[in-house]
Structures are given as structure tokens and as C-alpha cells.
Structure 1
Amino acid sequence: MPAASTRVPQQQRSRATQARLLEATVECLIEHGWSGTTTTVVAARAGVSRGAQLHHYPTKAALVTAAVDHLAERRAVELRTEADALPAGPRRLDRVVDLLAAAFTGPLFVAALELWVAARTDAELRDALVPLEARVGREMHRLTVELLGVDERRPGVREAVQATLDLLRGLGVANLLSDDSARRTALLGTWKRQLVTLLTPDDDPQDPHDLHGRARTSDPHGSTGPRTTMDGERH
């Protein structure tokens, strides 16, 4: 019993230490870039001993990839929460694209970009980053499909979703050097109109500008949340 009584607090302290290290790592990547983000600097910023930092993350590559993974998971939860608050109707697609666009200008994107550039010449970082980026990319694609409420079984839908993410990533990179809000807004407006056409089935009688305006019913798998597939059938 004594061991059990102390185990939970120790686990909590360990998780808290890891969380401080991961948050400090992201902050350092944003402020100082890859070269300025040393494990010593991160440990000091997190208020954690060097020994504790090495215990949890023995290498810099392990630390920074864990930090990006942590932030990606947190941002996905935030995006779902923000999207759940969006009303159904003609403006939903616009608002979803805006939410995603904001994700590609936020701290996760900036930190990840630092790692992408550094990984080109750092083999250890590249080996750690490639599988992480592949997984995060797949999860972002699935999240986008979910938020848009589309059916990837329809021809062209998967490509339209991926094109959206590729466009937003490119705009995010351009935004790092200069704030060209007017151009960005115009490009997104044009793409949103194209996206409505690409995601609306040819035989769907609904107004193409009301992609998510229909009432949706619960799905047959037990979920009580509304869902409508893009083939026009309700599930």
C-alpha cells in the first residue's frame, strides 16, 4: 500500500515535468529556431533539471519531435471544439477553411517548419521527424474530412481535401516573411468557391452554396451526432 500511495503523485509529477519540457521546447523553436533550441536552454526555461530532461528525452531530436507531436494532438482537439461551435448553413465551409488556415499560421506550424528545414541536413532529426510528419499529415487529412463532413469515397473528394491542405500550407509559409492579408483573403475566397463545386455531388439538388445546410441525423453506428455524407444520403 505505501508504494501505491506514492506512485500516483510521482506519475503526476513526471507528466507535469514532461508537459513543461514540451511547452518550453515549442516556445524555444518559435523564438530561437532550431539552432538556438538547445536542451540546456529548454530545461532552464521549463524550470527542470538537466538530469530530469535527459531522463525523459535523452536527445534533442527526441525532445523536439515529442513537442511537435504533443502540440499537434492538442491543436486537433482545439480544432474539433471550435468546429463543433460552428452553425450549420451556407457559411460553414467558409468557417471551417478559416479555422484550418489559422492552424497553418499558428505556433505548431512555425515550430514544425523549423524542424522541416533543419531535418534536410540533420540525419538524426530526419529519421525521427519523417514518421511523425507522415502520421500528423494523415491525421490532419482525416480531421479536415471530418470537419467538412464529406465522403472520400466520391471521386475527387480526397484530392480536393488534400489540395486545400497544400494550399493552406503554402500560404502559411508565405505568411512567415510578410503579412499579405489582402492577397491571402482573395486566394482563400476563390478557393472556397471552387471547393464548394468540387465537394458537391453533380446529382445533389441542394444549393451548391449551402453545402452543410441540411439537417443531419444520427449514424447507424450508435453516434448521436449529426452526419451527412456527400453522396446526398443521410446516415
Structure 2
Amino acid sequence: MEPRQDRSRATRERLLESAVTLLSETGWTNTTVTTVAAHAGVSRGATQHHFPTRDDLFTAAIEYMTVARVDELKTTLAAHSDGPAPVRDVLESIVGLYTGPLFKAALQVWTAAAVDPVVREHIIPLEQTVAREAFRLASTLLNINRENPRLRAIVAATLDLGRGLGLANILTDDAGRRTWVLDAWSAELEAIIAAESPTP
């Protein structure tokens, strides 16, 4: 028989997964303790045992989502562990981080944080963690010298581009234009990296 502690941990994780899913699919306002409990298949009483208030649930969900996004970054990095990847492939990987359900859920939290100082205070340090990991991922995959100010700026611009393309994809499928933009930026990025890299 599964120990009670393991069951409790599994229930808590199911609730957090449901919270992130519903944030992505239905938005901040429509994601409540009741809807999360129903989606997770957990009773209201059991849900309130883990998260007595909506604030408790969302605080934990935001932290859970941050860990999941960092794990997603690490998984992407591990997929290219055999050496520097082609620039175009790196761009595709970066944009993929901003077009998936975790980013859509994060976007809902950002929107709430824009008008709620309590949410904003909580989310800013977590987003800084994600940003640091994203920068590390991009600079590692592109095999650039992080001490080079121009290349650091280029990596930051690449991440901003990926985020912007992710936002453009929220309302409609923007795959066609995204391919065109990434093809163009890939060529520019290759030229910049080559120009800034020391000649052997």
C-alpha cells in the first residue's frame, strides 16, 4: 500500500499540474481552487488541506511552474550535449520554449502581476531565475564567449526575439512568419558570431 506521505505528495503535484494546465488553457481569472480541484480529480476538502486559499495555491503553482520551465531549459540543453548545434536549430529550440503551454501559463501570471503588486513581488525573482537559465542555455548552445559584451547583447536580443515570436503565436498560428524571421536571423547571427570569434 502506498504510504500516506507519498499519496499526499502525489495529490499536491496533481493539483499543481492542473493549476498550470488551467492557467494555460483558461486564464488567470477562470482558474480557481474549485476548477483546479475538479480538473485534478481531487475533492475540495483535500485541495484545501494542501492549499487553504487561492493565494496559497497560486504561490505554489508559480513556483512549480518556474521549476518546470527551468527543467525544460535543461532538457533542451541536454539534447545538444554532443557539441555546438547549428544556429538555426538553436533558434528553433529557443522559440519552442516560448510557444508551449508553460510559457502560456507564465504569460497569464505576468498579466496578473502587472496589476497585482503581491503577485508581482513574488514572480519577479522567479522570472529572474528563468531568465538566467535561458541565457545560459542560449549562450552554451551557440558556443559564444560570455565575456564578449556584443555577444552577450546578441544572446539577450535572441531571447527577446524568441519571446516576441511566442507572444505573436498566442492568438493565431504564426508558424509561417516565424520560419521566415528565424531564417533571416539565423544568417545574421552566424555572421555576427563568426565576426566576433577569434581566428585560430
Shorter-chain TM-score bucket reads: 0.7 to 0.9
Paired with 1:176 and 1:33, the residues of 2 have a C-alpha distance of 12
Determine the structure 1 residue equivalent to 2:47: 53
Paired with 1:151 and 1:190, the residues of 2 have a C-alpha distance of 23
Q: What are the superposed Cα offsets for residues 127-184 of structure 1, whole Å, 9 maximum, x if unpaired?
A: 2222222222222222222333322112212211111111111111111112232221
Correspondence for 1:116 among 110, 133, 154:
110
The SS at the match of 1:105 is coil
Determine the structure 1 residue equivalent to 2:67: 73
Determine the structure 2 residue equivalent to 1:98: 92
Taking the TM superposition and a 5 Å limit, the aligned residue runs for 1:175-190 are 175-190=169-184
Is the radius of gyration larger for structure 1 or structure 2?
1
5+ residue gaps in structure 1? Answer: 1-5, 206-231
Q: What are the superposed Cα offsets for residues 40-64 of structure 1, whole Å, 9 maximum, x if unpaired?
A: 1111211223333233334334423
Go from structure 1 to structure 2 and tell me whether the alpha carbon gap of 1:88 and 1:123 turns closer, same or farther (over 3 Å shift). closer
Q: How many residues align?
A: 199
TM-score normalised per structure 2: 0.85
RMSD of aligned alpha carbons: 2.5
Go from structure 1 to structure 2 and tell me whether the alpha carbon gap of 1:61 and 1:146 turns closer, same or farther (over 3 Å shift). farther
Correspondence for 1:162 among 143, 156, 179:
156
Correspondence for 2:137 among 131, 143, 151:
143
Pair 1:126 & 2:120 matched:
yes
For 1:170, give the aligned amino acid: G
Determine the structure 2 residue equivalent to 1:9: 3
Go from structure 1 to structure 2 and tell me whether the alpha carbon gap of 1:119 and 1:80 turns closer, same or farther (over 3 Å shift). closer
Paired with 2:103 and 2:178, the residues of 1 have a C-alpha distance of 17
Instruction: State the identity %.
Output: 45
Go from structure 1 to structure 2 and tell me whether the alpha carbon gap of 1:156 and 1:61 turns closer, same or farther (over 3 Å shift). farther
Determine the structure 2 residue equivalent to 1:31: 25
Determine the structure 2 residue equivalent to 1:152: 146
Go from structure 1 to structure 2 and tell me whether the alpha carbon gap of 1:104 and 1:156 turns closer, same or farther (over 3 Å shift). same
15-24 or 138-147: bigger deviation: 138-147
5+ residue gaps in structure 2? Answer: none
Shift of 1:24: 0.4
Higher helix share: 2
Higher relative contact order (CA 8 A, sep 6+): 2
43-52 or 14-23: bigger deviation: 43-52
CA contact (8 A) 1:26 1:64 kept: no
For 1:11, give the aligned amino acid: Q
Pair 1:22 & 2:16 matched:
yes
Paired with 1:12 and 1:67, the residues of 2 have a C-alpha distance of 19
CA contact (8 A) 1:68 1:108 kept: no
Shift of 1:38: 0.5
Pair 1:43 & 2:43 matched:
no
